[in-house]
A and B are shown apart, each in its own frame.
Chain A
Amino acid sequence: MREELLSVIEKNSRINLKELAVILNTDEQKILDELHSLEKEGIICGYHTLINWEKTSIEKVSALIEVRVTPQRGQGFDHIAERIYNYPEVRAVYLISGGYDLLVTLEEKSLKEISMFVTDKLSTLDSVLSTATHFILKKYKDHGTILDKKHTDTREIITP
């Protein structure tokens, strides 16, 4: 049940307990218990909402920053990653294989704020060797969901 429960609420975290119990063929108490232990185990880390900010009048600028760093003895990349992810404006930090080490995603109100973050905060960290900043121009698909395109049912309305 665990895997199916996770994949259902990954797509729709607002689904109610009763409906979950019906479609997963179990009872509400069991779902509740499972959700609690998933939260406790840190498997469920939050219940967020996927927002397409482009459609609002609120200005948001997002960037992906490639960061090359010197790993530290005994700590690897964990310490420097922590230094970076503690900034609230940082949305995500991933350790990446390949040409650079960390991928940092950032969301700010303006281009200027992002460049200030990179020049003032990120680049000045001791173990940061270099950065490359890419601004996101348009989000087509996010968290497995295609944004900005409504799915229309083009099937014949009745077929045998």
Chain B
Amino acid sequence: MTKSLSSKVINMKPSGIRKFFDIVSEMKDAISLGVGEPDFDTPWHIREEGIYSLEKGKTFYTSNAGLKELRQAISDNVKKKRNLEYNPNDEILVTVGGSEAIDIGLRAIINEGDEVIIPQPSYVSYEPCALLADAKPVIINLKGENNFRLQADELINAISDKTKALILPYPNNPTGAIMEYEDLEKIAKIIIDNDIYVMSDEIYSELTYKEKHVSIASLDNMKERTILIDGFSKAYAMTGWRLGYACAPKEIIKQMTKIHQFAIMCAPTSSQYAAISALKNGDKDIEMMRTSYNQRRRFLLNAFREMNLKCFEPYGAFYVFPSIKEFNMTSEEFATRFLEEEHVAAIPGNAFGDSGEGYLRISYAYSIENLKEAISRLKRFVEKLRKEQK
């Protein structure tokens, strides 16, 4: 039977998270630190816009690239937040979440055998999407000692004459790392010297706790070789609406739109109407959520300090990535025991790439009350492990 299925797909590794999910779902009373989505409800004015669109009978396809008004609002927003100009007519494509943009962006630029450089730990879908696009993924194992920022020499060592693109996933899931202007400058120079593309996944761009997010596309001569991906899921707590977008040179958007047109047709219509309200009236919602995330981030970092758990200070997204190397066990062993003994689910770092081994992804998309309970259990667990080691 299996001989009739795609070997490319069959050979794809299932997500490491899936495996852990199966263990967690057995346990009914577990508390979780494992989600990758906001705990806030979508702000009411955005939901209302979605409801109105249904009441008014806006239940048809939109144009393939997305509602004109939405693309205009995206263009205005990207200009306001990043000082970058994209023409809403041919340089912006509305997609089904950032995920679709990753998939079709890669498919639009890859020829068989091209290499795509993927820094890890990072989001789980880059590598499979690259494989499906017939690219050869080249992994960079980011280092904890660099706070998981991509280093110039790491990039240079990964580049070959087959390199087509670099995926730049910052602010980063799962580490919470960001890349600041000075970091990006060095990367941009190498990108230009070697004439490759960058797929910059900026889905967490609104959630930074130091400087404002900087897009690599805003550096000199980078816009023409960057596919910028962002979306509504994280900034506006709209994960279930499945809406993202890509901004790129029109030659690339044109090819991406073809794939999107045949595979998807258009992003969900009611989500698109809601998203217009998000962009136009959502800044104060973002501010409220960011303030709250930042408080929780400080709370967790302080708690780790108090229990002597090593963790670099992450300035982005809503994750912290503490090191568990002192316990001499794998991330999976740690996470599994933590779950079994304390009933708390946190994702083992290696689910995001080999270089995540020795770390744990802890999400702070939970109320401080929830975090307090989880942290007191973590503390008890860590103390127990330290006693065992003696």
A interface vs B, CB < 8 Å?
Answer: 4, 7-8, 19, 22-25, 153, 155-160
| CB of B285 within 8 Å of the partner chain | no
Binary interface profile of B, 173-212, with partner A (CB < 8 Å = 1, else 0)? Answer: 1000000000000000000000000000000000000000
Contact pick for B345, options A7, A19, A157, CB 8 Å: A157
Whether A157 and B24, one on each chain, are in contact in the complex, defined by CB atoms closer than 8 angstroms, is yes
List chain A residues, Cβ under 8 A from B328: none
Whether A158 and B32, one on each chain, are in contact in the complex, defined by CB atoms closer than 8 angstroms, is yes
A4, B298: Cα distance in complex, Å: 14
Best-buried of A7, A22, A153, A160 by chain B (most CB within 10 Å): A160
Shortest Cβ distance from B366 into A: residue: A153
List chain B residues, Cβ under 8 A from A24: 295, 298
A103, B173: Cα distance in complex, Å: 51
Which of B35-43, B51-59, B107-115, B144-152 binds A? B35-43
Whether B295 and A159, one on each chain, are in contact in the complex, defined by CB atoms closer than 8 angstroms, is no
List chain A residues, Cβ under 8 A from B30: 157
Give the total number of A-B pairs whose CB atoms are below 8 A apart: 52
A4, B347: Cα distance in complex, Å: 31
Whether A22 and B39, one on each chain, are in contact in the complex, defined by CB atoms closer than 8 angstroms, is no
Whether B299 and A19, one on each chain, are in contact in the complex, defined by CB atoms closer than 8 angstroms, is yes
List chain A residues, Cβ under 8 A from B15: 160
Whether A23 and B299, one on each chain, are in contact in the complex, defined by CB atoms closer than 8 angstroms, is yes
Shortest Cβ distance from A155 into B: residue: B35
Contact pick for A158, options B296, B298, B345, CB 8 Å: B345
Contact pick for A160, options B25, B36, B295, B296, CB 8 Å: B36
A4, B287: Cα distance in complex, Å: 11
Interface residues of B in 341-362 (CB under 8 A from A): 345, 347, 351
Contact pick for A23, options B24, B351, B368, CB 8 Å: B368
Whether A157 and B35, one on each chain, are in contact in the complex, defined by CB atoms closer than 8 angstroms, is yes
Shortest Cβ distance from A18 into B: residue: B302
Whether A158 and B299, one on each chain, are in contact in the complex, defined by CB atoms closer than 8 angstroms, is no
List chain A residues, Cβ under 8 A from B24: 157-158
A19, B302: Cα distance in complex, Å: 10
A156, B347: Cα distance in complex, Å: 13
Q: List 6 A-B contacts (CB under 8 A).
A: A19-B299, A24-B295, A155-B37, A158-B345, A159-B36, A160-B15
List chain B residues, Cβ under 8 A from A7: 291
A22, B36: Cα distance in complex, Å: 24
**Chain B min CB distance to A145 (Å):** 14
**Chain B min CB distance to A15 (Å):** 9
Whether A157 and B299, one on each chain, are in contact in the complex, defined by CB atoms closer than 8 angstroms, is no
A28, B226: Cα distance in complex, Å: 46
**Chain B min CB distance to A154 (Å):** 10
A108, B37: Cα distance in complex, Å: 45
**Chain A min CB distance to B211 (Å):** 16
| CB of B34 within 8 Å of the partner chain | yes
Whether A159 and B37, one on each chain, are in contact in the complex, defined by CB atoms closer than 8 angstroms, is yes
Shortest Cβ distance from A19 into B: residue: B299
| CB of B381 within 8 Å of the partner chain | no
